[in-house]
Amino acid sequence: MKAPEKNISTAGTWRKMLAARLIHNAAARVEQMPDSRVKVYVKTVRPWFLVPPLSWVLPLRRERGTVLDRLGTQVWNLCDGNRTVENVIDEFAAAHRLSFHESRAAITSYVQMLVARGAMAIVVDE
Amino acid sequence: MTTENTNLWIWRNIRMRIPADWEMLQFARSADEGRCAFADRYRFRLELSWRATAGSPDLERTISDYAAKLLEQTKRPPARLACGPWYGLQCERAGNGGPLPTSEADASDTTRFARFLPELRCVVEIVFLWPDGREQPLEETVLDSVAAEPQHDGRQRWRAFGMDILADSGLALTACRVEPASAEMLFADESSGTAERFARRGMVSEWLKEPVSDWLQRQAPDDAEMTVSTQHDRGHEISRTAGRIRGRGLRGKLSRTAWREAAAWICPADGRLYSVSRTGPRPASTDAELFGRRLACCREVAP
């Protein structure tokens, strides 16, 4: 038999992650695009070295925009701050006839990208 | 737990019934040694591993050694279990049995079983995780269902990722790509140049912007000379292609011509696109059973 450390018994549960809520960055600006997509603008932080005269020749964009595709927009709209990650996964799965873990893999990787870009935050209730 | 709320899973000629809401999240392709792990929506619940052996190993001794090792690590003696041909151990509050620190919320009882499957000449081990306490009826249902899957007229049956597959027995699973809403399994034998590819793709309305027959034609290599046909069978509209693949230029004239046949359809039961293709030497008779027999999607066409 396998040593205990090499099997699934040491893997944790996803319960805490699934109970978290996803909220939009309150400072983000959302622009509706004509084809039911959205573009999310997040304010950028000025780097410490970007001061005059360097900033005169290297202008800083005040916002960084991310265009969400149709599916991304659906995820964005589901993340309203009230739904838990589990709710979002379930609703996305039902809408696209996916299994729970198919939906979970798709949602979590997409949300990770949105969080990395500062468009979204994860609230974990202790 | 009844068979109605369980799904049949077949991998590497090992069959087993698991609860319908458990999904396979990890798998191995090797026939000699590997593991598959299944999870419910909150955590892993079951791991099945296999190891090919020349003969029947001394499982009684193996389990005793393992129990001694667990006792040394956890300072708690694991209970011995017996369930038919299975040798088992129960370890309480493991998570815990391993050396990694685990929170109480993550902890769960585990039961471990091993047996030898003589038909397959391999040892099968199963680890259950019981976060809410051991469920013996479920455990028995799963253990009782573990068996060797017989060959089907020279074909090996696999059942996973929503596909029920009959692949040529001479082929090995050489690739398995699983992504959200997309699973593809490739069975191949390089020496004969034969390959069978089975796939199931979801969210079809998001990416399929052409008829299935056109999509299927595009899957063939550029140098293939295909004929296309469409037919209806048991509520499914099946597109088929068949024809030669001839290499270009001098290479094409010198090399052997390969034969390719493929079928694709959208299953009305789950809205997914299923596709199956076979490439290799031309068979004595064209296989008209790609749909339904070689790849089945739903109960309507189940073998």
Tell me which range, A34-38, A41-45, B167-171, is most confidently predicted by mean pLDDT.
B167-171
- Phi and psi (nearest 5°) for A52? -55, 140
How much of chain B, in percent, has pLDDT values that exceed 90?
64
Q: Is the pLDDT of residue B90 over 80?
A: yes
Contact A8 B181 (CB under 8 A): no
Confidence bin at A120 (pLDDT 50/70/90): very high
Q: Please indicate, yes or no, if residue A6 is contained in any of the structural domains.
A: no
Instruction: Give A-chain residues touching B207 at CB under 8 angstroms.
Output: none
Long-range contacts of A75-82 (CB under 8 A, 24+ apart): A75/A107, A75/A110, A75/A111, A75/A114, A76/A24, A76/A38, A76/A40, A76/A114, A76/A120, A79/A22, A79/A23, A79/A24, A79/A111, A79/A120, A80/A23, A81/A21, A81/A22, A81/A23, A81/A24, A81/A123, A82/A21
Q: Please indicate, yes or no, if residue A56 is contained in any of the structural domains.
A: yes
**CATH code (residue A115):** 3.90.930.60
The domain boundary, picked from B93, B126, B148, lies at: B148
Neighbours of B236 (CB within 10 A): 20
Question: What mean pLDDT is predicted for residues A46-57?
Answer: 80
Judge if B169 and B273 occupy the same domain: yes
Judge if B116 and B209 occupy the same domain: no
Q: Please indicate, yes or no, if residue A35 is contained in any of the structural domains.
A: yes
pLDDT of residue A50: 78
Judge if B135 and B249 occupy the same domain: no
Q: Please indicate, yes or no, if residue A3 is contained in any of the structural domains.
A: no
Judge if B68 and B183 occupy the same domain: no
Structure tokens at A35: 């084809």
Q: Is the pLDDT of residue B96 over 80?
A: no
Structure tokens at B22: 């458990």
Judge if B159 and B238 occupy the same domain: yes
Judge if B44 and B87 occupy the same domain: yes
Q: Is the pLDDT of residue B97 over 50?
A: no
DSSP state of B301: G
Give Dmax (Cα) for chain B. 72
CA distance B100 to chain A (A): 7
Contact B99 A5 (CB under 8 A): yes
Check if the beta carbon of residue B256 is closer than 8 Å to that of residue B193.
Answer: yes
Owning domain of residue A75:
13-123
Number of separate domains in chain B: 2
B63 has a chain A CB within 8 A of its CB: yes
Judge if B139 and B233 occupy the same domain: no
Which of B70, B99, B180 is facing A106, going by the closest CB pair?
B180
Number of separate domains in chain A: 1
Judge if B7 and B122 occupy the same domain: yes
B82 has a chain A CB within 8 A of its CB: no
Q: Is the pLDDT of residue A4 over 50?
A: no
Q: What is the bridge-based pairing of β-strands B155-160 and B163-168? A: antiparallel
Q: Please indicate, yes or no, if residue A84 is contained in any of the structural domains.
A: yes
CA B234/CA B2 separation, integer angstroms: 28
Mean pLDDT of chain B: 88
- Phi and psi (nearest 5°) for B72? -65, -40
| Assessment of whether the complete model's pTM goes beyond 0.80 | yes
Q: Lowest-pLDDT range, A120-124, B162-166, B191-195, B196-200?
A: B191-195
Judge if B209 and B285 occupy the same domain: yes
The domain boundary, picked from B132, B148, B164, lies at: B148
**CATH code (residue B142):** 3.40.1000.10
Strands (E), B190-257: 194-201, 224-233, 236-245
Interface of A with B in 41-70 (CB under 8 A): 70
Confidence bin at B247 (pLDDT 50/70/90): low
pLDDT of residue B99: 37
The domain boundary, picked from B103, B132, B148, lies at: B148
Strands (E), chain B: 6-11, 14-19, 23-26, 33-39, 44-52, 79-83, 86-94, 108-117, 122-130, 147-148, 155-160, 163-168, 172-179, 182-189, 194-201, 224-233, 236-245, 258-266, 273-280, 295-296
Judge if B25 and B56 occupy the same domain: yes
More confident residue, A105 or B283: A105
Judge if B212 and B253 occupy the same domain: yes
**CATH code (residue B181):** 3.40.1000
Check if the beta carbon of residue B27 is closer than 8 Å to that of residue B47.
Answer: no
Owning domain of residue B69:
3-148
Query: For the complex shown, is ipTM > 0.90?
Result: no
